[in-house]
């Protein structure tokens, strides 16, 4: 006797999910576009502040000493020694305390955007073959209607287009 777990048909549920994604591909595309717009709008609330400042106090001397000791370690911009040029100050990207919740909303929106994009990838993969069939079916229907072309004989084994046409017509 079969167990309850082995009686569940998961392929049917998977096919339904894939069909749902393929059917709603263009809706998913608009959802991903709106999420991307919202993420970009939330990025406008972020600020960049420089660490170390431009004041001539003892704090800036320590920052300059730290940046000079890192020269030549291979982690620079690839411009060589650069001893005559001034180094860029360290910068920090942060959000104002008034909008503390934006970081959490941003993470949620990024996760949702990734999920929708992955769903679109799956939907496009499963939608690509039927779209190719419909495109070919449209071409064949036009050739049948306007050119009077009919496929009456069996295609040769090496003629893939004829086999494809036969498949499309039977569909």
- Number of structural domains, the chain? 2
CA-based nearest residue to 133, from 94, 171, 106: 171
Q: Is residue 167 part of a domain?
A: yes
Q: Are residues 126 and 168 in the same domain?
A: yes
Q: Is residue 37 part of a domain?
A: no
Q: Are residues 76 and 134 in the same domain?
A: no
Q: Is residue 145 part of a domain?
A: yes
What's the pLDDT at 61? 47
- Burial zone of 28 (CB within 10 Å; 0-12 exposed, 13-18 middle, 19+ buried): buried
Q: Is residue 40 part of a domain?
A: no
Q: Is residue 39 part of a domain?
A: no
Q: Are residues 69 and 107 in the same domain?
A: no
Q: Where are the alpha helices (DSSP H) in the chain?
A: 10-23, 25-43, 58-69, 102-142, 160-170
What's the pLDDT at 124? 84
Q: Are residues 63 and 113 in the same domain?
A: no
Q: Which positions ≥6 away from 137 have C-beta within 8 Å?
A: 168, 169, 171
Domain boundary among 77, 95, 113: 95
Q: Are residues 103 and 91 in the same domain?
A: no
Q: Are residues 74 and 18 in the same domain?
A: no
Domain boundary among 80, 95, 110: 95
What's the pLDDT at 100? 87
What's the pLDDT at 4? 67
Q: Are residues 108 and 168 in the same domain?
A: yes
Q: Are residues 111 and 168 in the same domain?
A: yes
Q: Are residues 115 and 150 in the same domain?
A: yes
Q: Are residues 116 and 144 in the same domain?
A: yes
Q: Is residue 79 part of a domain?
A: yes
Domain membership of residue 146 as a residue range = 9-29+99-171
Q: Are residues 104 and 151 in the same domain?
A: yes
The SS3 call for residue 92 is: strand
Q: Are residues 91 and 145 in the same domain?
A: no
Token digits of residue 106: 């941003």
pLDDT tens track, the chain, 171 positions: 667 666 777 888 888 898 898 888 889 999 999 999 999 999 999 998 898 765 544 444 444 444 444 444 444 555 555 554 677 889 888 888 888 899 999 999 999 999 999 999 998 888 766 666 677 777 777 777 666 655 566 656 666 666 666 666 654
């Amino acid at each position: 006797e079969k167990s309850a777990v082995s009686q569940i048909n998961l392929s049917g549920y998977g096919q339904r999910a894939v069909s749902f994604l393929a059917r709603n591909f263009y809706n998913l595309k608009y959802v991903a576009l709106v999420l991307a717009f919202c993420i970009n709008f939330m990025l406008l609330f972020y600020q960049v502040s420089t660490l170390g400042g431009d004041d001539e106090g003892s704090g800036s001397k320590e920052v300059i000493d730290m940046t000079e000791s890192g020269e030549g370690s291979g982690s620079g911009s690839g411009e060589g020694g650069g001893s005559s040029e001034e180094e860029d100050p360290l910068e920090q990207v942060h959000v104002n305390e008034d909008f503390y919740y934006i970081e959490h909303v941003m993470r949620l929106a990024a996760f949702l955007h990734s999920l929708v994009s992955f769903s679109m990838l799956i939907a496009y993969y499963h939608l690509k073959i039927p779209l190719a069939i419909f495109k070919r079916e449209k071409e064949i229907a036009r050739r049948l209607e306007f050119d009077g072309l009919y496929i009456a004989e069996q295609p040769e084994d090496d003629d893939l287009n004829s086999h494809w046409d036969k498949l499309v017509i039977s569909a």
